[in-house]
């Protein structure tokens, strides 16, 4: 039985690079939000997708989850779990951006803290770029998930025998 070579995108060095890139982005995104929970709560409120009762808990919990996932991706423990959480977060962020783009409701994504006021056209363009960025980050997270999936161990070879 011959082993098939791994595709290049599942190479351990590619995976390590993806972990570091994804981890550093999430650490960088978490720090300004941790420093300014009210500003992040305002950014969440601007999407008009979350009930008011959830704003403060989300503004307090999400940045710490991002920070923990980013650190886990960079430092090694629980990389697969962190990549799964990051994938879920990116899907949620992407869905929120898509909904507001469909409504033509410009929002500051709040990804890296609050931004300077801009025109409606600029904010809509930024939302499109944020969607593309999130799609790229999701591809990195999926790469980590694929590369770190448990491998099936081959079972015992079937015994050749007589059939009746």
- The reported pLDDT for the residue numbered 131 is 94
Predicted local confidence at residue 12, as pLDDT: 74
For residues 139-157, average pLDDT: 78
Q: Answer yes or no: is 152 within a domain.
A: no
* The pair of three-digit structure tokens given for residue 16, joined into one six-digit string: 């390590």
The answer to whether residue 49 sits within a structural domain is yes
Q: Give the pLDDT confidence score for residue 125 in this predicted structure.
A: 86
Query: Quick check: is 114 in a domain?
Result: yes
- The verdict on residue 1 lying in a domain is no
SS3 160: coil
Q: Is residue 121 part of a domain?
A: yes
Residue 141 falls within a domain, yes or no? yes
> Residue 148: what pLDDT?
85
Q: How many domains does the chain have?
A: 1
How far apart (Å, rounded) are the C-alpha atoms in residues 161 and 164? 10
Residue 98 maps to a domain: yes
Cα–Cα distance, 38 to 143 (Å, whole number): 34
The rounded mean pLDDT for the chain is: 86
* Cβ atoms of residues 38 and 59 within 8 Å: yes
pLDDT tens for residues 83-135? Answer: 999 999 999 999 999 999 999 888 887 777 666 667 888 888 888 999 999 99
Instruction: List the domain range (segments joined by +) for residue 89.
Output: 8-147
Q: Residue 155 domain-assigned? A: no
Q: How many whole angstroms separate alpha carbon 29 and alpha carbon 146?
A: 24
The predicted model scores a pTM of 0.81
């Amino acid at each position: 039985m011959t082993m098939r070579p791994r595709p290049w995108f599942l190479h351990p060095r590619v995976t390590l690079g993806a972990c570091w890139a994804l981890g550093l982005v999430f650490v960088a995104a978490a720090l300004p939000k941790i420093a300014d929970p009210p500003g992040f709560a305002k950014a969440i409120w601007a999407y008009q997708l979350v009930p008011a009762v959830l704003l403060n808990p989300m503004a307090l919990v999400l940045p710490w989850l991002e920070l923990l996932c980013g650190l886990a991706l960079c430092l090694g423990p629980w990389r697969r779990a962190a990549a799964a959480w990051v994938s879920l977060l990116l899907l949620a962020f992407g869905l929120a951006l898509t909904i507001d783009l469909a409504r033509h409701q410009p929002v500051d994504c709040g990804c890296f803290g609050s931004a300077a006021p801009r025109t409606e056209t600029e904010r809509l363009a930024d939302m499109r770029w944020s969607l593309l960025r999130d799609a790229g980050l999701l591809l990195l997270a999926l790469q980590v998930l694929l590369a770190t999936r448990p491998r099936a161990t081959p079972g015992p070879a079937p015994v050749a025998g007589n059939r009746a």
